[in-house]
Structure 1
Amino acid sequence: MHILFLTDNFPPEVNAPASRTFEHAREWVKKGHKVTIITCAPNFPHGKVFEGYKNKLWQSEDVEGIRVIRVWSYITGNQGFAKRILDYQSYMLTSFLASIFVRRVDIIVGTSPQFFTACAAWAAAAIKQKPFVFELRDIWPESIRAVGAMKDSKILDAFEKIELFLYRRSKVIISVTNSFKDNLVRRGIDGEKIHVVTNGVDTSRFFPRHKDSDLEKELNLNGKFVAGYIGTHGMAHALETVVDAARLLEKNVGGRDIKLLMLGNGAGRDAVIKGARGLSNIIFLESVSKEEVVRYWSLLDVSIIHLKKNDLFRTVIPSKMFECMGMGVPILHGVEGESADIVTSYKVGVTFEPENAEALAAALVSLKSNPGLRDELRKNGLRGAQSFDRKKLANDVLEVLENAAK
C-alpha cells in the first residue's frame, strides 16, 4: 500500500505532530508499505528555516525509508493570527499541487491541528479518487476561541462549516482522544467511522536513565530537586501559573531548594520570561533536538504538565505525558478531563487544579518530601508506557488505513 500523508510539521522539527507522523510512518515502512510525506521546510517554532534547508518550491529527501517532499510555504513565526492563516493556506495550496505529481497512491491522509492541511488532502483525494482520511489532533477552530487568539466572528463561523464539511467527506477519522470523538458525534458526525488512536511514546528513545551529570553541572542543579516543564510555551499553556508557583516556593522553607526548568519555545514564552524577572529558582532554555531533549528529561525529579482551565482542554491529552511515563518521571498534572483520568487510573502522577499556583507549589513541596511516592509513580509510569508504545499505536493506525483503502 502507498500512503500519501500531508503534514506541515515533520522532523527535524520536534513538536508532537512531527514526532507522531514520523514514528508512525517509520513503522509502516518497516511493514513493507510505501510512505510519501508532503511537508514544508522545517521552521517551527521560530518561523525560521532550519540550517541545511531552503524554502524552495520542491525538494525531496529520504528519511529512514520515508520519501519526504518539502514544498514552499509562506513562513512566519508567532506574529498574529492573519499571518499564521497565510502560512497555513500557502502550504495547503503547494502541498495540494505537489500531491498531484505523486503517483499510484492508495490512500491520502491529512492531519490537523489546523484543518487547511486536511483541505489539501481532501482535494487531492477527490482528484485521484482515493479515500481521504482526517487525522484529528485538535478541535480547530474551537481551540482558537479557547485561547482567546481571535474573538467570535463570521470568519470562525465559516471555518467551522469547512471543518464539518471535511469530517463528513472523510472516509474515516482517526482521533487522538475519545473526547474529540464524542465532540464530533454530538455535532452529527457518524461515530462508526471515527477511530481513536491516542498519542504515545517511542520507548526506544524515551526510557529511564541516570541524570546527565555534565548537564546537571552546567545548569548548576547538583543537589537540587528539579521540576520541569518541557514543551511548547503557548497561549494555551498558561505558564504564568508555573512562574507564580516559583515565586511562592521562594517564600516557602520547604521549597527553597526546588529548581524549575522551563525548556521550549512558543507564542507565550517572552511574556512568561518577563513575568519571572527577579526569580532565582527558575531556568529558561530554548528548544533542543529530539536527540538532545532526553538529556534534559533525565534531570527531572518531576514533570509539570499544564493547560488553561477551559472546557475544551478537558478533551486534550498532552503527548508529553507519555514521554514522562516512558522516562519514569512522575507527573504533576494541571489538566482536567480525559488526560487526568489516565494519570489517575495508571497512578503515574498527582493532579492539581489548572491555573492554581498555590496548589502546584504545595504539590511540589509534598512530592519533594515523599521519595517513596515518587518511586511508586515512577514504576507505574514505566509499566503504563507499554500500553502507549508508538509501535503498537502505529500498527493500530495502519489497520484503520488498510481497511479504508480496501
Structure 2
Amino acid sequence: MCQEWVKRGYKVTVVTGIPNYPMGKTFEGYGLTKKRHEIWNGIEIIRIPLIPRGSSSIGMILNYLSFMISGIIAGKLKKINAEYVFSFEVSPMTQVLAGISFAKKMGVPHYLYVQDLWPENVITVTGISSPTVIKPIDKMVDYIYKNTDEIFATSPSFVEAICNRKVPVDRNKVHYWPQYAEEFYQPCEKKHVPEIPEDNSFKIAFTGNIGTAQGLQILPATAELLKDEDVTFVMVGDGRYLEEFNKEIARRNVQNKFLMISRQPAERVPEFLSTCDAAFLSFQNAKLWTMTIPAKLQSYMACGMPIIAAAQGETERIVREAECGMCSSIGDAEQLSAVIKNMMSADLDEMGENSRKYFEQHFDKQMLMNQMEEYFHH
C-alpha cells in the first residue's frame, strides 16, 4: 500500500518494529543499533524498539506490549509531520494506540484498517475468555474506535461486528474494504519448477504461514483417507505449527502425499501455483474465522486458481458466488476428501477463469486504492 501511495505522489513514513515475524527472532542485519532508520522504495521507515516474539505465549505478549509502549512514546516525542495517520491493524490491536498517539500529537485524522477483530481474535487464538482479561481489551477497542475518523474492515461480517458492539460505532464511518492481491499475482503459464516433480498426480497447493489458525491438521487426516488416490499436497511455507504438522504426517504414514517446500519469496508463488491443479485454504473451527476473508483467497483467485476450501462463512460465500471451487465444513476430513475427489473430475479451467474474473471485479488493487484515495479527499 505504501509503495502504491508513493507512486501516486504521497510522502509516506512508516513506523514499525524491528522485524522478527514469523519465526520470532530478530532478522539478520537488524537490531537496536542497526537499520533503525532507512529509505526503501521511496518510503521512510522508522523502526522502534520491541522485544522479539520468540516461540512462547509470554514472548508474544511481551512483543505486543513493547511495541505499544515504544509506539506511544515515539508518537509523543518523534518529530514527524503528516496529514493523515493510517494504522494497518493485523494483531495485536494494541499497536493502534501508537497510531492514535501520533494522530493526536499532530492533530490530524486517524484512519484504521481492521484485519483482525479484537477481542474476538484474542478469545479464539488464546482460548482466554475471562472477563478479567477481556474487559480491559474491550475498553481499549472502544477507545480506539472512538478515536478513529474512518474505519475500514476486510469483510462485511467485520463491518457488522464493529457496528454492533456494546458501545456502538457510527455505521457512517465503518466501510468494507477488502484486501487485494499484489499485481505480481497473475495467472502464469505452467512451467517446470525444480522443486516440484512433473508427474500426473492431482496437485493441491497451500502457500503461506503454517500456523495453528490455519486449521491444517485436517490435511494429514484427509491424506490418509485419500491413500488410494494419486493426490499430492504441495505445501509452500513455514510457521510455528510446521514441526507438529510434519509429526502428524509421519504418525499417519502419509509422507508420500506431501511435498514440503520452505518459505519462498511471494513473487515466486504464482509459478508454484501454475504447476498445481487447485489451491487450498482452511481454518480452525471458530466463529471468528467464518467472518474472515483471508488474503490467501485473493492471491489464489488473482492467479486464476480453482479453490478447495475447508471453510465456512465469508470464504464459502465468495467461492460459491464466484463458482470457482468447492468447500467442505471446517475440520471435516471425510467431507474434504469427498470434495477433493469431486474436484479431480471437475472443469478446472472454467473454475480458474471464474476465479480470476471475480478477483478483477472485487479485489483489484488499483480499483481499491482509488476508493481509498476518495476517503482521503472527502
Runs of 5+ in structure 1 lacking a partner?
Answer: 1-23
Kept in 1: contact 2:193–2:272 (CA 8 A): no
Correspondent of 1:392 among 363, 367, 378: 367
Greater alpha carbon shift after TM alignment, 297-306 vs 49-58: 49-58
The normalised TM-score by structure 2 is 0.92
Q: Hey, what does 1:207 align to over in structure 2?
A: 186
Correspondent of 1:269 among 242, 247, 250: 242
Q: CA deviation at 1:127?
A: 1.9
Q: Hey, what does 1:195 align to over in structure 2?
A: 175
Q: Hey, what does 1:126 align to over in structure 2?
A: 104
Kept in 1: contact 2:316–2:327 (CA 8 A): yes
SS of residue matched to 2:47: strand
Q: Report 1:7-406 matches (<5 A).
A: 24-56=1-33, 59-80=36-57, 82-99=58-75, 100-113=77-90, 114-187=92-165, 188-202=168-182, 204-215=183-194, 218-250=195-227, 252=228, 255=229, 257-277=230-250, 278-279=253-254, 280-370=256-346, 373-387=347-361, 388-403=363-378
In structure 2, how many angstroms separate the alpha carbons of the residues matched to 1:221 and 1:56? 47
Higher relative contact order, chain-length normalized (CA < 8 Å, sep 6+): 1
**Superimposed CA distance per residue, residues 187-233 of structure 1 (whole angstroms, 9 cap, x where no aligned partner):** 1111111111101112x301111334142xx4334222110221222
SS of residue matched to 2:226: helix
> One-letter code of the match for 1:391?
Q
Kept in 2: contact 1:330–1:377 (CA 8 A): yes
SS of residue matched to 1:34: coil
Judging changes above 3 Å, is the alpha-carbon distance between structure 1 residues 322 and 161 closer, same or farther for their aligned structure 2 residues?
A: same
The normalised TM-score by structure 1 is 0.86
Kept in 2: contact 1:273–1:284 (CA 8 A): no
Judging changes above 3 Å, is the alpha-carbon distance between structure 1 residues 353 and 221 closer, same or farther for their aligned structure 2 residues?
A: farther
Judging changes above 3 Å, is the alpha-carbon distance between structure 1 residues 79 and 128 closer, same or farther for their aligned structure 2 residues?
A: same
> One-letter code of the match for 1:158?
P
In structure 1, how many angstroms separate the alpha carbons of the residues matched to 2:164 and 2:270? 40
> One-letter code of the match for 1:307?
F
**Superimposed CA distance per residue, residues 345-386 of structure 1 (whole angstroms, 9 cap, x where no aligned partner):** 11121111111111111111221123xx21110111121221
In structure 2, how many angstroms separate the alpha carbons of the residues matched to 1:326 and 1:249? 28
Tell me how large the CA RMSD over aligned residues is: 1.9
SS of residue matched to 1:322: helix
Judging changes above 3 Å, is the alpha-carbon distance between structure 1 residues 338 and 214 closer, same or farther for their aligned structure 2 residues?
A: closer
